[in-house]
């Protein structure tokens, strides 16, 4: 799309602005159909973003997106139209705000609930430096469930600064928004809200300006003008009603299905297996319940929720609450399965320690999107979970080699009376699995070589198999290969009894604090040489998941070279 | 104190109940004056707890304490009077609720904001199992600032269960409670609140029963009876006004100073140095600001707050918001210092990754109470921070050997344009320090031995010095000793160039993922033998900090034995 200057945007006629909106919509549809990405949420905020760029003065004024699923129109209006077709590709435009990408991106986001706190910080810095610009936080109604938003609201008066909050209310998180706050917002929209709901925001030092039609420039432009005027004196909340998927028939009908779009056909999924197994387990065991934080579909739990509504808890984008709720359910005698993405579980880190493992409660964490997640980039990669879980006492950590083994791990956890974590990637293959023994690795093939590879998870085992084949093809000894399916408890017995001198570890996690460190710790003083392959000490950008794994993850060439080297040294 | 049976409590006259309250107060004062502990908060809830035990049927009914600073009277009323004098000592009564200690303790706490989510989980489990008992969450007004409480409130209607929330409002966190929610509560108390504030709670599915005098049994007993009645049909919020320190003149006057009591005289403190250095730095650098989450005094920042009120931010018990606010301030060009206890920083784990380090923003984390914190037990030990920080890209991690070196690290961080963490224990010695070089260890004494010790932090260096002296006294070679003051970046140059074959590492952190693992990783393939000493894979209970360090931490005898062994092997 051709870039439009701020001057052109300012002097455009109303009709031209409407045409611009259609142009933006067309560009987003075209690009997302090829590159994938967040579709419905971005289509919903086209008019709002055009109006913001007309009224405010970016990048002098700062626009902060909560989560960032709504930043495409902003990118198209801030000099990135010509590169927008590279969306979510390696080196191309990120699907999320990125300060390193443009001066128009004021704050990086990806997880929910941070925009208000960040906006307050930037506004307060402005005040202290006696600068003069506006700070705007664009926050979806789904994020308004998140505790961080309330912590920030609570300190709004205290901080004595001025910001504009745009509550972009489309009634959806990724799933439909749930909970008490959502009900308040619904009543405000319907005009049926009693005065006290409006005052709810005012109590926190916000002027609630009322409800505006967010897909209608005629409504938005004067509202933003008025808000800007008020901002001279006080913080303002503008409640904007948008339609997720606006302007695209299918998106409007199915905003949940078109929230995120992935091109290409879908294969087998761990998520699907999770749903199937939990249903089977729940039929036999009344204690089993499922907990999610606004991700029921993506985690494969829709069927479970339909079949066991009384035992299903989607608490909205509240990862911490979900974790403590699960701990409470377990303390009450239930057997909760808390399914969540690897990157979002970071939010519940303290609760895993303090509530679940500290009390040794039988909560099972089903950790999806582990390893490289791909096109969503830095804020969505799942390469830290082994590191942030490994040192927590009482926690079992399992890493299935395929979906069949994942099913066995779920069944094992159902009978296990303590905290249990299973981490797995998107995608996957069903494969086959032999019976599982708690805390025991699986010897996949044993050879008369002095080299042994311990690999964890489907991607790394596939890589290790390729490396073994290449070694054989080169006439090198084929290493012995082990499925290192428990990070904790570690199979110390096997590790210490294997005769191989050269040990290679492979994982799709950060090398610091991961499987390689655990194996090396176990083998200290045993005269072994351990070399570990995994992700280095850097944030992994967006791009194709497979390509990112090759570029930043355990390196095939380096592994083959290591085998050559070990062989040469004998 | 003599135990009282539930029957005796039920049949006691009003006067006898009042006498019981005085007896409980006396016992708490006696014990805390010897053992230390949370004084003012516990004195405030004596009548409330007696009334709860009179009206409800524990342990069938479940009482869940938020944080747990208010559980002493409950312990005295649930068969633990005879052992109460062992409070906070190793093997004695814990200062916090502990399921393993008594059936009357329904849920373990220590961090803020978990009680409501936990109560909902336990209540929901009760409903699913068709059991019949009441679930009560006792939550201080300070915790009502915490985001977790709002996440739980938001799902209260959704979960369709019934609980009683006792909002114990004493106007204090550890410091006075701050923020918008606090203002609402204040107006409710004063009776000046408009109807809409009452409705605030009702919107979330709670019957707000009104304000009650929480140190007056005549007010409490009928209120709890009424609440119990309502609980048959709906969730209830009882707003109870208590006086922190009630019944003790000095505590009533200085509830902040008597929140936590430590017997014995105070020595030098890293916290004091933090305040002094930040004031000095802030005088020269206008960008420097301080952020805390309701712990201004304990962290040594009171003077800073007094001198630079516009650059000081205490946001209440909101560790996550504080972290993102700091990130926002840094994005806006400021240089924030976020001071927090090691254990509470766990709450901001995702924000350290997502907001601070993901954007490489110059926030300095001043991490107090690192290592064994002591008498507060499992939920307060700071033995995980090195493990949960080590793998985060862009983060510098420094560990001072004494207070003098801590001052140098603070000055270094002030000039450093990226995230910086400094972790240090309570207490400490000023000592002396040589100029600091970024990412470089300090060689303390070099000997012609084949053994080298890398130790981090004051306690571990003192231990290492003792071990060296004992080795010398035994006629063993004295190991070379290194102050391993940067976990990240690690001094790889020194590590790889030192000639010693035997490497010993010492840290007061969990061994998994800590300094030892980092050093061993760096030395892989170098033909060294690394043995690490630190904390094992278990939660550390309450007790005397020094004794816990000896029992669970790096072991002096084992270190000397290792030196003997290395010497024998040559």
Check B350 against A111: CB less than 8 A apart. yes
Q: Is B319 a catalytic residue?
A: yes
pLDDT digits (tens, 9 = 90+) for B322-352: 999 999 999 999 999 999 999 999 999 999 9
Check A148 against B147: CB less than 8 A apart. yes
Check A393 against B327: CB less than 8 A apart. no
- Please give the CATH topology (third level) of the domain spanning A50-68+96-255: Rossmann fold (3.40.50)
Give the best residue of B204, B289, B321 to mutate against chain A (max A CB count within 10 A).
B321
Give the integer Cα–Cα distance in Å for A336 and A313: 10
Q: How far is B324 from chain A (nearest CA, A)?
A: 6
Give the integer Cα–Cα distance in Å for A406 and B565: 44
CB nearest A393 (choices: B146, B524, B538): B538
Alpha helix positions (H), B137-293 = 147-154, 156-159, 180-190, 195-202, 217-230, 249-253, 270-284
Check A349 against B388: CB less than 8 A apart. yes
| Nearest of B247, B228, B260 to residue B70 by alpha carbon | B260
Q: Using 50, 70 and 90 to split pLDDT, how confident is the model at B182?
A: confident
Check B121 against A324: CB less than 8 A apart. yes
Q: Where are the domains of chain A?
A: 50-68+96-255, 270-423, 442-569
Q: What would the two tokens of residue B86 be?
A: 């062992």
Tell me what pLDDT residue A255 has.
80
Q: If you measure CA to CA, which chain B residue comes closest to A204?
A: B180
Query: Considering only CB atoms, which chain A residues are within 8 Å of B539?
Result: 357-358, 393-394
Strands B486-488 and B396-398: antiparallel
Check B152 against A124: CB less than 8 A apart. no
The DSSP H or E segment spanning B502 is: strand B502-510
Most confident of A463-467, B250-254, B255-259: A463-467
Check B391 against A510: CB less than 8 A apart. yes
Most confident of A150-154, A238-242, B439-443, B445-449: B439-443
Tell me what pLDDT residue B197 has.
61
Could you tell me if A296 and A314 are in contact, meaning their C-beta atoms sit under 8 angstroms apart?
yes
Query: Considering only CB atoms, which chain A residues are within 8 Å of B107?
Result: 327-328, 331, 359
Give the best residue of B328, B342, B386 to mutate against chain A (max A CB count within 10 A).
B328
DSSP conformational letter for B542:
S
Could you tell me if A536 and B390 are in contact, meaning their C-beta atoms sit under 8 angstroms apart?
no
Give the integer Cα–Cα distance in Å for A129 and B304: 19
Strands B37-38 and B480-483: unpaired
Tell me what pLDDT residue A570 has.
82
pTM over 0.95: yes
Give the integer Cα–Cα distance in Å for A273 and A404: 9
Check A393 against B517: CB less than 8 A apart. no
Tell me what pLDDT residue B196 has.
57
CB nearest B387 (choices: A108, A120, A391): A391
Q: Catalytic residue positions of A?
A: 244, 319, 347
Query: Considering only CB atoms, which chain B residues are within 8 Å of A113?
Result: 147
Tell me what pLDDT residue A192 has.
61
Tell me what pLDDT residue B514 has.
98
Give the best residue of A104, A147, A162 to mutate against chain B (max B CB count within 10 A).
A147
Query: Considering only CB atoms, which chain A residues are within 8 Å of B357?
Result: 539
Tell me what pLDDT residue B482 has.
98
What mean pLDDT is predicted for residues B17-38? 96
Give the integer Cα–Cα distance in Å for B439 and B80: 51
pLDDT more than 90, % of chain B: 87
CA A109: distance to chain centroid?
Answer: 11
B398 vs A145, higher pLDDT: B398
Instruction: Look up the CATH number of domain B442-569.
Output: 3.40.50.920
Q: If you measure CA to CA, which chain A residue comes closest to B510?
A: A391
Tell me what pLDDT residue A551 has.
97
CB nearest A128 (choices: B311, B392, B524): B311
Which residues does B450 contact at the CB level (< 8 Å), separation at least 6?
A: B477, B500, B501, B502, B566, B570
Give residue for tokens 């004031």. B279
A172: alpha, beta or left, given left = phi > 0 and alpha = psi -120 to 50?
A: beta
Kindly tell me if the per-residue pLDDT of B505 is higher than 90.
yes
- Looking at B54, B244, B311, B423, which residue is catalytic? B244
Which residues does A245 contact at the CB level (< 8 Å), separation at least 6?
A: A39, A40, A43, A44, A251, A252, A253, A254, A255, A258
Tell me what pLDDT residue B265 has.
58
Query: Considering only CB atoms, which chain A residues are within 8 Å of B324?
Result: 114, 117-118, 121, 148, 152
Check B537 against A118: CB less than 8 A apart. no
State the ipTM, two decimals: 0.97
Collapsed DSSP state (helix, strand, coil) of residue B280: helix
Which residues does B545 contact at the CB level (< 8 Å), separation at least 6?
A: B372, B373, B374, B375, B426
Query: Considering only CB atoms, which chain A residues are within 8 Å of B180?
Result: 153-158, 203-205
Interface size A-B, in CB pairs within 8 Å, comes to 375
Which residues does B142 contact at the CB level (< 8 Å), separation at least 6?
A: B67, B112, B172, B173, B174, B177, B294, B316, B317
Give the integer Cα–Cα distance in Å for A187 and A19: 33
Q: Is B244 a catalytic residue?
A: yes
- Looking at B347, B407, B485, B562, which residue is catalytic? B347
Query: Considering only CB atoms, which chain A residues are within 8 Å of B113?
Result: 147
Q: Is B347 a catalytic residue?
A: yes
Low-confidence ranges of chain A (pLDDT < 50): none
Q: How far is CA A294 from CA A299, A338, B115, B123, in A?
A: 10, 12, 22, 22
Do domains B6-261 and B442-569 share one topology? The answer is yes
Kindly tell me if the per-residue pLDDT of B509 is higher than 60.
yes
Check B146 against A148: CB less than 8 A apart. no
- Please give the CATH topology (third level) of the domain spanning B6-261: Rossmann fold (3.40.50)
Give the integer Cα–Cα distance in Å for A420 and A338: 10
Instruction: Look up the CATH number of domain B270-423.
Output: 3.40.50.970
Average per-residue pLDDT for chain B: 94
Check B320 against A151: CB less than 8 A apart. yes
Q: State the SS3 of B214-258.
A: CCCHHHHHHHHHHHHHHCCCCEEEEEEECCCCCCCHHHHHCCCCC
Residues in chain A: 570
Check B286 against A128: CB less than 8 A apart. yes
Collapsed DSSP state (helix, strand, coil) of residue B368: strand
Residues forming a β-bridge with B236: B164, B207
């Amino acid at each position: 799309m051709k870039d439009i200057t701020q001057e052109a945007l300012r002097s455009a006629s109303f009709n031209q602005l409407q045409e611009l909106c259609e142009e933006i919509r067309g560009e987003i549809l075209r690009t997302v159909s090829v590159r994938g990405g967040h579709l419905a949420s971005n289509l919903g905020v086209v008019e709002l973003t055009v109006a913001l760029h007309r009224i405010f003065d970016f990048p002098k004024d700062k626009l902060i997106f909560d989560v960032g699923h709504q930043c495409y129109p902003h990118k198209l209006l801030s000099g990135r139209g010509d590169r927008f077709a590279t969306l979510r590709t390696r080196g191309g435009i990120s699907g999320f705000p990125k300060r390193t990408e443009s001066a128009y991106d004021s704050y990086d986001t990806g997880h929910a609930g941070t925009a208000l706190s960040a906006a307050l910080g930037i506004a307060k810095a402005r005040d202290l430096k006696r600068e003069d610009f506006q700070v705007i936080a664009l926050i979806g109604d789904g994020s308004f469930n998140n505790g961080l938003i309330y912590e920030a609201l609570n300190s709004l008066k205290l901080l004595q600064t001025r910001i504009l909050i745009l509550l972009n209310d489309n009634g959806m998180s990724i799933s439909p928004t749930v909970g008490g706050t959502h009900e308040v917002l619904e009543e405000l929209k319907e005009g049926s809200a009693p005065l006290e709901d409006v005052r709810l925001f005012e109590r926190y030092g916000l002027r609630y300006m009322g409800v505006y039609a967010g897909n209608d420039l005629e409504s938005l432009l004067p509202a933003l003008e008025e808000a800007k005027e008020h901002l001279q004196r006080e913080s303002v909340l503008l409640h904007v009603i948008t339609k997720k998927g606006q302007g695209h028939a299918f998106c409007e009908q199915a905003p949940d299905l078109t929230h995120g779009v992935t091109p290409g056909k879908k294969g087998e999924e761990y998520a699907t297996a999770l749903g199937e197994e939990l249903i089977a387990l729940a039929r036999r065991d009344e204690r089993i319940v499922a907990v999610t934080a606004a991700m029921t579909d993506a985690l494969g739990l829709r069927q479970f929720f339909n079949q066991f509504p009384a035992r299903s808890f989607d608490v909205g984008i509240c990862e911490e609450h979900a974790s403590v709720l699960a701990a409470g359910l377990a303390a009450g005698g239930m057997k909760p399965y808390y399914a969540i993405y690897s990157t979002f579980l970071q939010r519940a880190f303290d609760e895993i320690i303090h509530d679940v493992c500290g009390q040794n409660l039988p909560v099972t964490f089903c950790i999806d999107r582990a390893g490289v997640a791909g096109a969503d980039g830095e804020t969505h990669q799942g390469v830290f979970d082994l590191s942030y879980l490994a040192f927590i006492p009482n926690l079992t950590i399992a890493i299935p080699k395929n979906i069949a083994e994942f099913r066995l791990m779920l069944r094992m956890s159902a009978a296990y009376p303590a905290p249990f974590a299973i981490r797995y990637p998107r995608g996957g293959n069903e494969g086959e699995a032999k019976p599982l023994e708690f805390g025991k690795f699986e010897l996949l093939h044993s050879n008369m070589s002095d080299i042994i590879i311990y690999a964890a998870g489907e991607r790394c085992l596939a890589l290790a198999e390729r490396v073994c084949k290449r070694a054989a093809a080169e006439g090198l000894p084929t290493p012995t290969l082990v499925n290192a399916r428990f990070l904790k408890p570690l199979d110390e017995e096997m590790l210490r009894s294997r005769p191989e001198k050269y040990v290679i570890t492979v994982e799709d996690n950060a090398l610091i604090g991961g499987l390689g460190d655990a194996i090396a710790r176990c083998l200290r003083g045993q005269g072994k040489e351990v070399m570990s392959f995994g992700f280095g000490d850097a944030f992994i950008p967006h791009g194709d998941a497979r390509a990112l794994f090759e570029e930043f993850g355990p390196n095939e060439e380096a592994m083959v070279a290591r085998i050559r080297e070990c062989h040469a040294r004998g």
